């Protein structure tokens, strides 16, 4: 049951990154790809019906983590308190930028909220990537399972880690480039004309950098934490994951050259899922490694809730997921196709 809940949490995190990732990426390219007021309205219309629903997956993943692995939740929120508060503020500012822009007509205020939306979207991608980097690299866990990290120390990877060092900054940049390409492909799927062309160009220019950063990230991860390859050595099926990662990158480029935006977008989603599943597979059964002493690692066994509670919760989780997936299926079907501005409105 603990392994099952580990996979459930991983799936929910992946669902959040794929879904909210494309509207975060749309925010990153918002000021660059959209040159006119109409084009910016088109981007807002492309993500407008779904962006806040996509963010619910972050809350759902956090709630699931709290239910299934309460000690991990408590430890993470104590040690990552500062970056979590930064992420919370960025999420609020991003929502403010989207919602208040719709109420403004003054060009000064429009520009202000456009900037808030774009900058907060970019910073969120970097912080989420850095958060994953912290989990893979490890944190200075104490004997009681808690830890504290300053925002940065000397930017080196070691026992005196900060939240930001060269490795977590690298993972943050990987997330920024990946979600920028992901969002660009989504906007290309949803728009036409010059905006469509510019969005495709952003994704095409991001692809070589995405490939280079993927290779660099894999090399850096193995260099600072050689143990991440242990599960791959013991279970050969794990090598399917890098095939999916690099295969999806190849499909992305081929589809972009053929102007098959939907296929490219699906391939981008497969790349994101492959990267996250690869990290989860490498860490299992560890959920939060200790950078000081491996004996202090938080695992699915020493952080999980009771077996009975996990079994009962699994039944309710299935019911909840059926409702959520039904809602999202209906929502995305209602707003399928290219966005149009002829009928006015936001």
Q: What is the DSSP string of 285-302?
A: TEEE-BSS-GGG-EEHHH
Residue 334, CB-side half-sphere exposure with 13 Å CA sphere:
9
What pLDDT score was predicted for residue 304? 95
8 Å CB contact between 167 and 223:
no
- pLDDT of amino acid 78: 84
Cα–Cα distance measured from residue 58 to residue 256, given in angstroms and rounded to the nearest whole number? 29
Residue 314: its pLDDT value, please? 95
Residue 281 CA to residue 155 CA, distance in Å, equals 27
Question: Contact, 180 vs 202, CB < 8 A?
Answer: yes
Please, are residues 2 and 304 in contact by the beta-carbon 8 Å criterion? Answer: yes
Cα separation, 96 vs 91, in Å, equals 9
Which residues, in sequence order, are CB contacts of 313 under 8 Å at separation 6+? Answer: 67, 68, 305
Look at the chain and count its residues: 346
In this prediction, residue 178 carries a pLDDT of: 97
Q: Using DSSP bridges, classify how beta strands 298-299 and 286-288 pair: parallel, antiparallel or unpaired.
A: antiparallel
Cβ atoms of 272 and 17 within 8 Å: the answer is yes
State how far Cα 344 lies from the chain centre. Answer: 32
Low-confidence spans in the chain with pLDDT less than 70 = 342-346
């Amino acid at each position: 049951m603990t392994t099952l809940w580990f996979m459930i949490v991983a799936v929910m995190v992946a669902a959040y990154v794929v879904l909210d990732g494309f509207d975060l990426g749309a925010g990153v390219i918002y000021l660059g790809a959209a040159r006119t007021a109409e084009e910016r309205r088109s981007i807002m219309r492309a993500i407008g019906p779904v962006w806040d629903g996509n963010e619910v997956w972050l809350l759902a993943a956090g709630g699931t983590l709290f239910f299934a692995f309460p000690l991990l939740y408590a430890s993470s929120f104590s040690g990552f308190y500062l970056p979590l508060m930064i992420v919370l503020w960025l999420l609020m500012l991003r929502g403010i930028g989207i919602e208040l822009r719709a109420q403004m007509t003054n060009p000064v205020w429009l520009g202000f909220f456009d900037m808030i939306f774009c900058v907060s979207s970019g910073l969120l991608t970097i912080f989420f990537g850095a958060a994953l980097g912290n989990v893979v690299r490890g944190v200075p866990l104490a004997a009681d399972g808690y830890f504290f990290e300053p925002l940065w120390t000397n930017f080196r990877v070691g026992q005196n880690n900060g939240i930001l060092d060269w490795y977590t900054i690298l993972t943050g940049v990987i997330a920024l480039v990946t979600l920028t390409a992901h969002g660009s492909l989504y906007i290309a799927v949803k728009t036409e004309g010059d905006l469509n062309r510019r969005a495709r160009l952003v994704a095409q220019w991001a692809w070589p950098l995405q490939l280079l950063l993927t290779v660099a990230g894999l090399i850096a991860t193995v260099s600072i934490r050689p143990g991440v390859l242990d599960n791959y050595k013991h279970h050969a099926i794990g090598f399917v994951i890098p095939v999916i990662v690099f295969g999806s990158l190849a499909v992305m480029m081929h589809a972009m050259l053929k102007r098959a935006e939907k296929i490219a977008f699906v391939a981008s989603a497969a790349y994101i899922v492959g990267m996250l599943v690869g990290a989860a597979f490498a860490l299992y059964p560890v959920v939060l490694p200790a950078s000081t002493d491996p004996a202090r690692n938080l695992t699915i066994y020493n952080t999980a809730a009771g077996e009975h509670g996990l079994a009962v919760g699994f039944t309710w989780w299935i019911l909840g997921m059926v409702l959520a997936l039904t809602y999202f299926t209906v929502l995305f079907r209602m707003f399928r196709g290219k966005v149009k501005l002829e009928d006015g409105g936001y």
